[in-house]
A and B are shown apart, each in its own frame.
Chain A
Amino acid sequence: MNIIVCMKWTPDTSEADLTVSTTAKDIKKDDLDYDMNDWDRFAIEEAAQIKEKIGGKVTVISLAPEESEDMLRECLARGADEAFQIWSDQMEDGDGFTTASVLSEFIKGRPHDLILTGTLAEDDGAGQLGGMLAAMLDIPSATLVSRIEVNDQKVSFVRELEGGLYESMEMDLPCLIAVATGLNEPRFVSIRAVRKVASIEIPNLGIDDIGIDAGKVGRSGSRVEIEQVSLPPEGEGAEIIKGKAEEAAARLAEILKEKGAIG
């Protein structure tokens, strides 16, 4: 069983004061801390659990600059057997399509039964990569998967739908599954766990190693062009609901109904 997990290195914007960059096409990222995309954390955990259950090999890949090594090292500590970091300066400012092109070139050249990734990324939330990558590799795919069971040459899985519905499905291997958060309980990675995998080498692959044309990556290969990034206008502020707990709860329910948040 060869499992390949695609990881994204995303900026942590949760506690930062976001500002738009001078070009107005992105946010300022210089002061931001980067970390593993939370959705992908569930993907690598699932891969590790499948390997623990039925055996196999887990390969982690990420299209990200050198600083992402910590993330890949953490993936090795989580149970991956090998990790590859793919980056060339030309890959800067790419979109989902260019990322999928690079990853598919890499994956085509090696055995793959199951490809796992997060359905979305925390930064742009485009959700494009899974579908495009599967199409380029000509394999079936599914998104928002909240349970996976691999048996023999098939994989059965459950998808989370709107309104609390679940959909059970089955696909032939090889295939790509883009997971939902919460499909497992990712393990904790201690400092010692990372140190244990410190000696595993993480190769850096550039466009030449992948064998992809420089015109197909980064900005030049992108099909999406961002026109403008802006901060949302400041709202009028929050309404403080006063009164006893019961009254406040009733008023809150009323507001939520008015706004259509609950049926």
Chain B
Amino acid sequence: MNILNPADAPILGAPAPAIAFIVLFLSVACFCFVMFRRMDVLRKAAPDPRFSNIPNRLLCALMYGFGQWRQPRYLGAGVLHILLFAGFMILSLRSLTLIGRGFTPTFHLPLLTGSAAFAYDSLKDYTVIVVLAVCVIAIARRAVFHPKRYDHPGTAGHEYEAYIILGLVSALMITDMIHDGSAYRASGVSGEYQWFPAAALASVFMPRNDPATLNFLHVGGYWAHILFFFGLLNYLPVSKHFHVITAIPNVFFSNLNKGTIKPVRYGTVDWMELDQCGVSDLTGFTWKHILDFYSCADCGRCSDNCPANTVGRALSPKMISVKARDYAYEHFPVFDKTSKDSEHEKRLVGDIITEQEIWACTTCGACEAECPIFIEYIDKIVDMRRYLIDRGEVPQSLQKPLQQIKKKGNAYGAMKSKRAAWTKDLEDFQVRTLAEDEHSDLLFFVDSCGSFDPRIQEITKSFARIMARNNLDFAILGQEESDSGNEVRRLGEEGLFEQVSGRNIEAFKARNFDEIVAFDPHAFNTIKNEYPEHFNVIHSSQLIHRLLSRRTMSLNAGYLGGRVVTYHDPCYLGRHNGIYEEPRRVLKSIPGIQYQEMTRSFSRSFCCSGGGLLLWYENEEEKERMGERRVKMAMEIGAQVIVTACPFCLINIEDAIKTTGNEGKIEVIDLVELIDRSMS
């Protein structure tokens, strides 16, 4: 029999093309209107220059957007998502074709004719089966296994939205199968099932020789498919599934400047003159940051990897996105609502996103490294902190160290004149303080921690010893050095950051040197990435690696004595600056080293609770210290020595070894100290 084409079947007496036109017009108009309203919010938001470096951006969109590169970091869910995404890409052509077939029965897309059409239709049929299977598995995963990262603690859940979308996608597949299955059945062929498995499968459930029923299924399946399609399209921008539309642009516009914090407001020369500093409301965020909120798919990978979240602090990065998106949808609704009593309105920053959440972040960047679509959190947290700082609302435990930096250039409250006091303990050699206009090859930036913290001074001395024994020409700034400002900036005190970094820049410029070297990744990061003037900066691990590759230094295993060693990636060395390999190569050049990698390493390294001023921060919510968690991770793989390359990791982990009662079983040591003790 010949099956009835949907375009030829009038509906309630009206010609099908007219109905198709009305459906298309209304759906697209509605979609455009909603999109306009959503995008209008971005227009009201703060500026953000994201149009630089287009080739890199395109590459990023190709690799992480279309290529879904980060998805398999969670293997099961990642593979399912890749299949679903590929299905969407393939089936989008099918959807366009079907829309056209409401107007003319023989509609096809350009080039999709003859054998190309056959090949595509066959591919499409397989895709339909795969997508349907993925939907069923996804529904089962959620309903049966309840992965914890999908939860929405503290707010009305959005979990049901996942079921709606999975249901709609399944319905699209099933109606497609009904539409094609009925035609397959009516055509009478049966030998093509290997090409059209979905149609063949659906036809099994349909009667033979019943033209009326088959025509009804064919036409009915078609219109149901069309309605589900436009229903889905219009559901996207009002739900968490907005990411289907915004994710790829979000990846395209992602932050290309690693290790930096955004300025207070882009395009403003003197931010101090602004009425308000920092972000207190939705439109205070930049348009890209609001696009981030829209794009979050609530997958929870960020919070699953957030150390603050893991130890029970109030912060869940995902919930910042979810709450801000809810706020955006409520306060910038599709249809204007009558004005609400704004007096009792909850404030976005302070009430909805609480101060506890805002201060709980260590800026470790685990969330950003994990997000498949590059949603940013650190800049937003810092922007909100800037607002709280501006209002004077700063946790008491952080006020004192901040004030000390302001008054004395270091958080320890120590006198400036004692900044180079550690050099007096060195017996074999002297450390030169670089005077103005003098030259040295290396300028050793000690920073406050290396100058004043008695434990960290040991690293300072070890590092000086390594440089001296390798006959390197190095010098320090002495009392002309100020705190690097990395944490000051991340706590939102931009004015103080400008003050301390300005002093350091002045001191740098007045002296001649080839490179700055620092063993604290925080200082290394901010001088390298954030200081407004360029200086060559290297990290101690890079310098040691260089010495080893020149074969001017050789190591022995005497200190390690056969113990199992693991390496803890510091956030500001690894995630923020991509330095993963040099420290490992240095370690592996110790003859006979027994090296074991922790499960969480490289970009998944687990923050030990933050550096700089965060050493003073007291958090009342946490049930466990991050460092304690990290010690357990090292113990799990049987490590006896944790090597790190950050003085604050060292302090945090050393404390944690004591508080977990593991003294004597495991030791933490800085890479610099280890090399100092392992030099032959």
Tell me the A residues contacting B by CB distance below 8 Å: 12, 14-16, 31, 33, 35, 78, 185-193, 195
The answer to whether A33 and B392 touch across the interface, beta carbons within 8 angstroms, is no
Rounded to whole Å, the gap between the CB of A214 and the closest CB of chain B is 33
Whether A33 contacts B408 in the complex (CB less than 8 A), given A188-B389, A188-B399, comes out as yes
A187-B390 CB under 8 A given contacts A12-B413, A33-B407: no
B495 interface neighbour in A14, A78, A187, A190, Cβ under 8 Å: A190
Which residues from B are CB-within-8-Å of A78? 392
Contact (Cβ within 8 A) B407 A188:
no
Q: Roughly how many angstroms separate A195 CA and B493 CA in the complex, as a whole number?
A: 13
* Residue among B407, B412, B499 facing the most chain A CB atoms (10 A cut-off): B407
Q: Is the CB of B495 within 8 A of A192?
A: yes
The one of A185, A188, A191, A193 in contact with B499, judged by C-beta atoms closer than 8 angstroms, is: A191
Chain A's closest residue to B498 (CB) is A191
A14→B413 CA distance, assembly (Å): 8
Across the interface, B392 reaches (CB within 8 A) one of A12, A14, A190, namely A190
Least Cβ–Cβ distance between B280 and chain A, in angstroms: 15
Q: B555 within 8 Å of A by Cβ?
A: no
Q: Which residue of B lies closest to A36 (CB)?
A: B403
22 contacts between A and B (CB under 8 A): A15-B412, A31-B415, A33-B407, A33-B408, A33-B415, A35-B407, A78-B392, A185-B396, A186-B399, A187-B393, A187-B394, A188-B392, A188-B393, A189-B392, A190-B493, A190-B495, A191-B493, A191-B494, A191-B496, A191-B498, A192-B272, A195-B272
A residues in contact with B277, CB < 8 Å: 192
B402 at the interface (CB under 8 A from A): yes
A195 and B495 alpha carbons, distance in the complex (Å): 10
Question: Chain A's nearest CB lies how many Å from the CB of B317?
Answer: 25
Number of interface residues of B (CB under 8 A): 26
Q: How far is the CA of A62 from the CA of B679 in the complex (A)?
A: 59
Residues of A within 8 A of B389 (CB): 188, 190
Find the A residue at minimum CB distance from B398: A188
| Residues 277-332 of B contacting A (Cβ, < 8 Å) | 277
A30 nearest CB across to chain B (Å): 12
CA distance A192 to B388 in the complex (A): 13
A78, B391: Cα distance in complex, Å: 10
* Residues in B neighbouring A14, C-beta threshold 8 A: 413
**Nearest Cβ in chain B — how far from A101, in angstroms?**
31
B417 on the A face (CB < 8 A) = yes
B261 at the interface (CB under 8 A from A): no
Using Cβ atoms and an 8 Å threshold, which residues of chain A touch B408? 33
Compute how far the CA of A191 lies from the CA of B498 in the bound complex, rounded to whole angstroms: 10
* Structural contact, A190 and B414, CB atoms closer than 8 A: no
Say which residue of B390, B396, B412, B417 sits within 8 Å of A190 (CB atoms). B390
Chain A, Cβ-Cβ closest to B412: A15
The answer to the question of B406 belonging to the interface, with a C-beta cut-off of 8 Å to chain A, is: yes
Min distance, Cβ A199 to any Cβ of chain B, angstroms: 13
Q: Mark B465-502, 1 if CB is under 8 A from A, else 0.
A: 00000000000000000000000000001111011000
| List of A residues within 8 angstroms of B494 by Cβ | 191-192
A111 and B277 CA atoms in complex are apart in Å by 36
Within 8 A of A (CB), among B410-425: 412-415, 417
Q: For the complex, would chain A's binding face be called helix, strand, loop or mixed by DSSP majority?
A: loop
Give the residue name and chain of the A residue nearest to B389 (CB).
A190
Q: How far is the CA of A201 from the CA of B402 in the complex (A)?
A: 26
Q: Which among A12, A35, A185, A190 has the greatest number of chain B C-beta atoms within 10 A? A: A190
Residues on A with beta carbons closer than 8 Å to the beta carbon of B414? 15
Known: A31-B417, A185-B396, A186-B399. A191 touches B406 (CB 8 A): yes
* Contact residues in A for B399 (Cβ distance below 8 Å): 186, 188
In the complex, chain B residues whose CB is within 8 Å of the CB of A189: 392, 403
Q: How far is the CA of A16 from the CA of B393 in the complex (A)?
A: 30
Known contacts A187-B393, A189-B392; can you find 18 more A-B pairs with CB under 8 A?
A14-B413, A15-B412, A33-B415, A35-B407, A186-B399, A187-B391, A187-B392, A188-B399, A188-B402, A190-B389, A190-B390, A190-B493, A192-B272, A192-B390, A192-B494, A192-B495, A193-B392, A195-B272
CA distance A191 to B499 in the complex (A): 9
Contact at B272–A15, with CB atoms within 8 Å? no
What 8 pairs between A and B have smallest CB-CB spacing?
Answer: A191-B495, A187-B392, A188-B394, A188-B392, A192-B495, A15-B413, A15-B414, A188-B399
Kindly provide the distance from the CB of B489 to the nearest chain A CB, expressed in whole angstroms. Answer: 12
CB distance from B567 to the nearest CB of A (A): 31
Q: Which residues of chain A are within 8 angstroms of B406 by Cβ–Cβ distance? A: 191
Nearest chain B CB to A194 CB, angstrom units: 8
Q: Contact mask B97-132 → A, CB, 8 Å, 1/0?
A: 000000000000000000000000000000000000
Residue of B with least CB distance to A34: B407
- Contact pattern, B 496-534, Cβ under 8 Å of A = 1, otherwise 0: 101100000000000000000000000000000000000
> In the complex, A189 Cα to B403 Cα: how many Å?
8
B residues 376-400 near A (Cβ < 8 Å) are 389-394, 396, 399
- Bound complex: CA of A191 vs CA of B406, how far in Å? 8
Tell me, in angstroms, the Cα distance from A127 to B389 when the chains sit together: 33
B contact residues around A188 at 8 Å (CB): 389, 392-394, 399, 402
Distance from A198 Cβ to chain B, minimum over Cβ atoms (Å): 10
| Contact between chains at B390 and A193 (CB < 8 Å) | yes
Which chain B residues border A15 with CB–CB below 8 Å? Answer: 412-415
Q: Which of A31, A185, A195 has the most CB of B within 10 A?
A: A185
Q: In the assembled complex, which residues on chain A have CB atoms less than 8 Å from the CB atom of B407?
A: 33, 35
Residues of B within 8 A of A190 (CB): 389-390, 392, 493, 495-496
Give complex CA distance A190, B408 in Å.
15
Closest chain B CB from A183 CB (angstroms):
13
Bound Cα distance from A148 to B496, whole angstroms: 33
Contacts of A191 in B (CB 8 A): 406, 493-496, 498-499
Q: Which residues of B contact A193 (CB under 8 A)?
A: 390, 392
- B639-665, CB < 8 A from A: none
Point out the residues of chain A lying under 8 angstroms from B396, CB to CB: 185
- Alpha-carbon gap, A195 to B408, bound state (A): 19
Q: How far, in angstroms, from A107 to B596 measured CA to CA in the complex?
A: 72
Chain B residue nearest in CB terms to A189? B392
Distance between Cα atoms of A15 and B414 in the complex (Å): 6
Nearest to B394 among chain A residues (CB) is A188
CA A157 – CA B390 in complex, angstroms? 30
Q: Give the chain B neighbours of A186 by CB distance below 8 A.
A: 399
Q: Nearest-CB distance from B411 to chain A (Å)?
A: 12
Q: Nearest residue in A to B452 (C-beta to C-beta)? A: A15
Bound Cα distance from A78 to B413, whole angstroms: 22
Point out the residues of chain A lying under 8 angstroms from B499, CB to CB.
Answer: 191
Chain B residue at smallest Cβ distance from A48: B392
Candidates B390, B394, B403, B415; contact of A16 at CB < 8 Å: B415
Contact flags B359-391 to A (C-beta < 8 A → 1, else 0): 000000000000000000000000000000111
A78 to B272, CA, bound (A): 17
The interface residues of chain A lying within 8 Å CB-to-CB of B417 are 31
Q: How far is the CA of A66 from the CA of B275 in the complex (A)?
A: 31
Q: How far is the CB of B412 from chain A (nearest CB, A)?
A: 7
Q: Give the distance in Å from the alpha carbon of A187 to the alpha carbon of B390 in the complex.
A: 10
> A248 CB to closest chain B CB, in angstroms?
13
Residues of A within 8 A of B394 (CB): 187-188
- Using CB atoms, name the residue of chain B closest to A196: B272
Taking CB atoms, residues of chain A closer than 8 Å to B403 are 189
A78 — nearest CB in chain B belongs to which residue?
B392
Cα-based distance from A21 to B277 in the complex (angstroms): 46
**Minimum distance in angstroms from B400 CB to a CB of chain A:** 10
- Shortest beta-carbon distance from A10 to chain B in Å: 13
Q: How far is the CA of A31 from the CA of B408 in the complex (A)?
A: 13
Chain A residues lying within 8 Å of B393, measured Cβ to Cβ, are 187-188
Taken together as a complex, chains A and B put the C-alpha atoms of A185 and B398 apart, in Å, by 12
Q: A188–B495 Cα gap in the complex (Å)?
A: 13
In this complex, what residue of B is CB-closest to A194?
Answer: B495
**How far is B400's CA from A35's CA once the two chains are assembled, in angstroms?**
12
- A195: chain B residues at CB < 8 Å are 272, 495
